[in-house]
C-alpha cells in the first residue's frame, strides 16, 4: 500500500485540510455507511423469507461468485443465508482498507447479475461522501491527486507565511465550496485568491486582476507567457456560460462542474505560490 504523503504546516496545526476530493488513500465513515446501506438494501430486496431462515433467492449466484471469486473460499463452505451475507458485508465495509473496499465495490458494480439500483447506489456513495474517487466504466478512479492536494496546501502555507491573509481566506473558502459541491462558488473563490495576491503586489487595490497582472508584468516580475495564460483563465471565469465571478441571472446557463472547480483550484493555488515567490525573490 502506498505511503501517505507528509502533512503540511497547516494540516499539522489544524488550520486547514485539503478538500475531500483531493484526499487520496482515505475514505470517510460516511462513505462506509453509505456502501453498507447499499449492500444491505440490495440483499433485502432479494431475500426470500422462509420458516426459521432466509435465503438469497435469485441473487444466490452473485453471493456464490463473491464467496469463491472474491473471498477465495471453497464452494463447499458456501451458505445461502441472507443474514450471514449481510454480516459478512457489514464487516467488510467497516474494516477493509480503502483499496480492498474499492476492490469489493468493483466486484459488485461489474457483476452481470446485480440490479441497476445497487449499481447506482454505489456510484452515488462516492458522490455523496465527496471522495477523491468516482466510478467510471465500472472501475474506481481518482479524480484528484496527491500532488493537487500538496499544491493547495502549500499555497495556503505560502499565503499564511507571507502575510497574504486575503488569498489564504479565498483558497480555504474555495476548498470548502469544493467539498460542499458548490462548483461555481469554488471557481469564484479560487480566482479571487489570485486576484487578492496580484492586487497586493501591484498595489492596485481597486483594479481588476487583469490590470494588476499588467502592472506586475511591466516590472518583469512574472513570465509574460504565464501572465497571458492566466489572463485567459481569468477571462474564462467571466464567460457568459460560466459567469463564475458574477451573480447568477440565468441559472440554467451556468455550466461549471466538479472537473472545472478542481482544475481552477489547482491552477489558482499554483499561481498564488508563484506570485508570492516572485514577489519575495524580487
Position 12 in a domain: no
pLDDT averaged per 10 residues, the chain (length 282) = 51 63 85 96 83 74 94 93 91 95 95 91 92 88 81 88 90 86 88 88 73 71 70 64 41 68 88 83 52
Spell out the residues 6+ positions from residue 234 whose beta carbon is closer than 8 angstroms to its own. 191, 194, 209, 210, 213
Intra-chain end-to-end CA distance of the chain, in Å: 43
Domain check: are 72 and 151 in the same one?
no
Domain membership of residue 97 (yes or no) is: yes
Residue 2 counted as domain residue? no
12 is written with which cell numbers? 499539522
13 within a domain of the structure (yes/no): no
Q: What is the pLDDT of residue 244?
A: 46
Please give the grid coordinates belonging to residue 273: 505560490
Q: Are 134 and 157 members of one domain?
A: no
The pTM of this model reads 0.69
Quote the domain boundaries for residue 54.
29-142
Domain end, chosen from 120, 142, 164, is at 142
Looking at the structure, tell me whether residues 156 and 274 fall in a common domain. yes
Looking at the structure, tell me whether residues 153 and 268 fall in a common domain: yes
Both 104 and 57 in one domain: the answer is yes
Per-residue model confidence (pLDDT) at position 152: 87
Domain for residue 8, yes or no?
Answer: no
Amino acid at each position: 500500500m502506498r505511503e501517505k504523503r507528509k502533512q503540511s504546516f497547516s494540516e499539522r496545526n489544524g488550520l486547514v485540510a485539503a478538500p475531500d476530493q483531493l484526499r487520496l488513500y482515505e475514505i470517510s465513515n460516511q462513505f462506509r455507511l453509505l456502501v453498507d446501506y447499499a449492500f444491505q438494501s440490495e440483499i433485502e430486496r432479494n431475500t426470500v423469507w422462509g420458516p426459521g431462515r432466509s435465503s438469497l433467492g435469485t441473487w444466490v449466484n452473485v453471493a456464490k461468485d463473491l464467496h469463491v471469486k472474491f473471498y477465495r473460499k471453497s464452494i463447499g463452505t458456501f451458505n445461502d443465508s441472507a443474514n450471514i451475507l449481510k454480516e459478512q458485508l457489514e464487516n467488510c465495509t467497516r474494516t477493509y482498507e480503502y483499496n480492498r473496499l474499492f476492490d469489493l465495490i468493483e466486484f459488485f458494480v461489474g457483476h452481470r447479475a446485480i440490479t441497476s439500483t445497487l449499481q447506482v447506489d454505489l456510484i452515488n456513495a462516492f458522490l455523496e461522501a465527496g471522495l477523491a474517487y468516482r466510478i467510471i466504466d465500472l472501475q474506481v478512479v481518482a479524480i484528484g491527486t496527491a500532488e493537487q492536494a500538496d499544491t493547495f496546501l502549500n499555497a495556503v502555507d505560502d499565503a499564511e507565511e507571507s502575510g497574504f491573509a486575503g488569498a489564504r481566506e479565498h483558497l480555504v473558502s474555495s476548498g470548502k465550496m469544493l467539498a460542499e459541491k458548490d462548483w461555481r462558488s469554488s471557481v469564484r473563490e479560487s480566482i479571487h485568491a489570485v486576484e487578492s495576491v496580484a492586487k497586493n503586489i501591484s498595489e492596485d487595490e481597486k483594479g481588476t486582476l487583469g490590470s494588476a497582472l499588467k502592472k506586475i508584468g511591466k516590472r518583469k516580475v512574472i513570465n509574460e507567457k504565464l501572465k497571458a495564460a492566466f489572463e485567459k483563465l481569468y477571462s474564462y471565469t467571466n464567460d457568459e456560460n460560466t459567469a463564475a465571478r458574477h451573480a447568477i441571472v440565468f441559472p440554467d446557463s451556468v455550466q461549471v462542474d466538479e472537473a472545472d472547480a478542481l482544475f481552477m483550484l489547482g491552477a489558482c493555488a499554483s499561481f498564488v505560490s508563484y506570485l508570492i515567490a516572485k514577489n519575495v525573490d524580487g
